[in-house]
Amino acid sequence: MNRAHSEAFTLLELMLVVVILGTLIGIAAARYANTLRRANEGALVGDLGAIRSALHIYYGDSEGVYPRDLLVLTASASYLGSVPAASIPPYHPASNAVLDGASADDSGGWLYDNAPGSASFGSVYVNCTHTDTKSRFWTTY
């Protein structure tokens, strides 16, 4: 049998194709994971904006008074139907817990400064001291 005229692939050629496909799949999977994380971050920033908007409307309706806690915004669904869950993967599971105070404890959820003497009184933040995909700390949003 003359091997010069064989039309079959050699084992080396097949292994090379498998290595190339594996590399391409690895790159695609990493990009997909990054895109998914950025989408979750965008949703979190949107939820933060919704809470802040509800706070500003409450502030205007109550003639310059911030609520004692964020749950006041959900009473009768006047300002928010419910406090949205802050999902901060891979650092914290989704949580709609609200920490009252001026400093983050990195437990996930939201941080609401309800101390009247505080410089950031009436502000709400993400209660996470980790960074997002742009290397910004979540507490700076």
6: left (phi over 0), alpha (psi -120 to 50) or beta: beta
Q: Tell me: the pLDDT tens digits for 44-82?
A: 999 999 999 999 999 999 999 999 999 999 988 889 999
Q: Tell me: the pLDDT tens digits for 77-131?
A: 889 999 999 998 888 999 999 999 888 899 999 999 999 888 999 999 999 999 9
61 part of a folded domain = yes
The residues that bridge with 7 in the sheet, in sequence order, are none
What is the rounded distance in angstroms from the CA atom of residue 140 to the CA atom of residue 52? 14
Domains identified in the chain, total number: 1
19 part of a folded domain = yes
pLDDT band at 5 (very low <50, low <70, confident <90, very high): low
3 part of a folded domain = no
Pairing of strands 124-126, 110-112: antiparallel
Instruction: Show the domain range for 106.
Output: 11-140
55 part of a folded domain = yes
Q: Tell me: the pLDDT tens digits for 74-92?
A: 988 889 999 999 998 888 9
User: Above 80 in pLDDT, residue 1?
Assistant: no
5 part of a folded domain = no
CA atoms 129, 135, 136, 138: torsion sign: negative
